[in-house]
Chains A and B, each alone.
Chain A
């Protein structure tokens, strides 16, 4: 069942990308609507897959890298869809769906067997830690997509592709909005992780590579918020910082697990 829902989500995401691109040269309201609804359906399938897995394993799907990869894609889609309350953009939907496709494709190469929780993972802090991470990384994923939109808009102006994009100031302020959501949750990720590490190992901070890179992520977004506030670093610089910030998130999640072994390597 889970595999079917995942496949449905995957297919729907491809359709989302295609329809969104079609809507760029066929300016038709129905196609625009379809782009959003395909993304929403993909999100729903992914949700069902995760629920199915929770039922099958008798616990929340928070324990393996496979599971977290799907949660990560889920969080990004959640924020992409949530952005509808600010404005709707098919280019954004396409970029978000593409990002989700890449993440899910990578996730599908990971071992997917359902494993019981090892003793170190049996903690309420696992739940807090993962939930806050989904929110923080989802919001950062959105701000990265918006950063890309910003650079596109800046390049093409209001011609062609740029026509369908909101003005630069709007893109910048919404990007700030999503970083300002992600940042407090990233803070929570670090705190819940520290408290958990203290409970399980007796060391709330041990400079393990994953911890270190999460802290670097936090520094980067703190830099984003401060530079904006005090120097008015907006626009292009901010967009680049949002993109770099998310690349660091990706490295923390995948790069560190692959390249830098540490205490976190079981997730």
Chain B
């Protein structure tokens, strides 16, 4: 078969005709390439001041005006994608009538699958949602706080496996998910193995330490549980900054943890007044120490796990598109040309 005959001339006239032409298609491919590459060269999602500082007042403002800081979600990029989709749709509609053999059916399928992927991303953009949450080991979080009402998520345990070199091998959270109807799902998740249940997908994303302690004062104790590195505001413009050292090395004298395991847990407490560092104390678990006029007790520690929670029906559509694309590729490339072989 001569493929050139298979390519039908665009029908109709005016805008519809030019929108369905291959020339427009090629132009769009070129434009999309050029614009996408710009988005990879101009840093995305920075602060407004960044662009003015980096590109100068004039060019910076121009870039901001045309949303070059959020290029891939700007109205004109999406419009370009929409025109591209129309182009493929019109082309495919014209060619579907002439698709007789498996090869040409494969080709039409291939084009159609691009539209399915587009539709899936559109659906994701409209109804898909995802949010990040940090939950301490043994805690339960009400997911309505991050936009998923009706779900309660319990983190029973979190653990890290290491290679001999102390490089991380896998992060694993043991989860219990309770939905509004009361059904409970228990599962372990790790990187590359998310939990998929009840339309939700939950990903292992991050982790860290929580440190628990008290600041003692005349009016009673103020207890805290802080994410490692977080600050605690005290009275009189004082701030307490706490660093957790799971395996403190008393001989080295620095705060580098010997191993990542909590073999010798300590906290380093820095007392800061305004911008000025007042004093630092290293406190072991169960110990109480005075930093200037502030008394701090270090009571305990535990992991928290950082999870990405997602509900997105668009992904199924996108995967459907991928499947059609593979099917189309197989039909197109794995069947011999008519009259050959």
Write the residues of chain A forming the contact surface with B, with a CB cutoff of 8 angstroms: 115-116, 118-120, 122-123, 180, 184, 187-188, 191, 194-195, 198-202, 204-205, 207, 209, 212-213, 215-216, 219-220, 222-223, 226-227, 229-232, 256, 260
Question: Could you give 9 example pairs across A and B, Cβ below 8 Å?
Answer: A116-B167, A119-B192, A188-B326, A194-B322, A201-B205, A220-B33, A223-B29, A229-B7, A232-B4
A202-B22 contact given A216-B33, A230-B7, CB 8 Å threshold: no
The answer to whether B22 and A207 have CB atoms under 8 Å apart is no
Q: Which of B168-176, B212-220, B291-299 contacts A (4 or more CB under 8 A)?
A: B168-176
CB of B191 within 8 Å of the partner chain: yes
Chain B residue nearest to A215 in the complex (CB):
B36
Closest Cβ–Cβ distance, residue B63 to chain A (whole Å)? 17
CA distance A191 to B327 in the complex (A): 13
The answer to whether A119 and B168 have CB atoms under 8 Å apart is yes
The answer to whether A219 and B33 have CB atoms under 8 Å apart is yes
The answer to whether A116 and B308 have CB atoms under 8 Å apart is no
The 9 closest A-B pairs by CB, nearest first: A119-B191, A209-B40, A230-B22, A123-B192, A116-B163, A216-B33, A202-B203, A212-B40, A219-B33
Closest Cβ–Cβ distance, residue B340 to chain A (whole Å)? 13
A223-B121 contact given A119-B168, A202-B203, A229-B3, CB 8 Å threshold: no
The answer to whether A195 and B191 have CB atoms under 8 Å apart is no
Closest Cβ–Cβ distance, residue A192 to chain B (whole Å)? 9
For chain B residues 236-285, which have a beta carbon within 8 Å of chain A?
Answer: none
The answer to whether B36 and A204 have CB atoms under 8 Å apart is no
Q: List 11 additional A-B contacts (Cβ < 8 Å) besides A194-B322, A207-B44, A216-B37.
A: A116-B169, A119-B169, A188-B326, A200-B191, A202-B308, A207-B36, A216-B36, A219-B32, A220-B29, A226-B22, A229-B3
Closest Cβ–Cβ distance, residue B77 to chain A (whole Å)? 10
Q: Which residues of A contact B332 (CB under 8 A)?
A: 184
Closest Cβ–Cβ distance, residue B204 to chain A (whole Å)? 8
Q: Which residues of B contact A194 (CB under 8 A)?
A: 318, 322
Closest Cβ–Cβ distance, residue A205 to chain B (whole Å)? 7
Q: Which residues of B contact A198 (CB under 8 A)?
A: 315
Closest Cβ–Cβ distance, residue B203 to chain A (whole Å)? 5
Closest Cβ–Cβ distance, residue B130 to chain A (whole Å)? 6
Closest Cβ–Cβ distance, residue B29 to chain A (whole Å)? 5
A-B contact count (CB 8 A): 97
CA distance A31 to B191 in the complex (A): 54
Q: Which residues of A contact B41 (CB under 8 A)?
A: 260
The answer to whether A202 and B201 have CB atoms under 8 Å apart is yes
The answer to whether B4 and A229 have CB atoms under 8 Å apart is yes
Closest Cβ–Cβ distance, residue B162 to chain A (whole Å)? 10
Chain A residue nearest to B164 in the complex (CB):
A116
A222-B29 contact given A119-B192, A187-B329, CB 8 Å threshold: yes
User: What 1/0 mask marks residues of chain B from 176 to 204 whose CB sits below 8 Å from any chain A CB?
Assistant: 00000000000000111110000001010
A226-B40 contact given A116-B167, A118-B168, A200-B191, CB 8 Å threshold: no
The answer to whether A213 and B329 have CB atoms under 8 Å apart is no
The answer to whether B26 and A184 have CB atoms under 8 Å apart is no
Q: Which residues of A contact B7 (CB under 8 A)?
A: 229-230
The answer to whether B192 and A120 have CB atoms under 8 Å apart is yes
Q: Which residues of A contact B194 (CB under 8 A)?
A: 199, 202
The answer to whether A204 and B333 have CB atoms under 8 Å apart is no
CA distance A70 to B63 in the complex (A): 40
CA distance A216 to B35 in the complex (A): 10
The answer to whether A120 and B72 have CB atoms under 8 Å apart is no
The answer to whether B170 and A191 have CB atoms under 8 Å apart is no
Closest Cβ–Cβ distance, residue B191 to chain A (whole Å)? 4
A119-B310 contact given A202-B130, A202-B201, A223-B29, CB 8 Å threshold: no
Chain B residue nearest to A207 in the complex (CB):
B72
The answer to whether B333 and A180 have CB atoms under 8 Å apart is yes
The answer to whether A212 and B39 have CB atoms under 8 Å apart is yes
CA distance A186 to B57 in the complex (A): 41
Q: Which residues of A contact B318 (CB under 8 A)?
A: 194, 204
Closest Cβ–Cβ distance, residue A220 to chain B (whole Å)? 7
CA distance A205 to B310 in the complex (A): 15
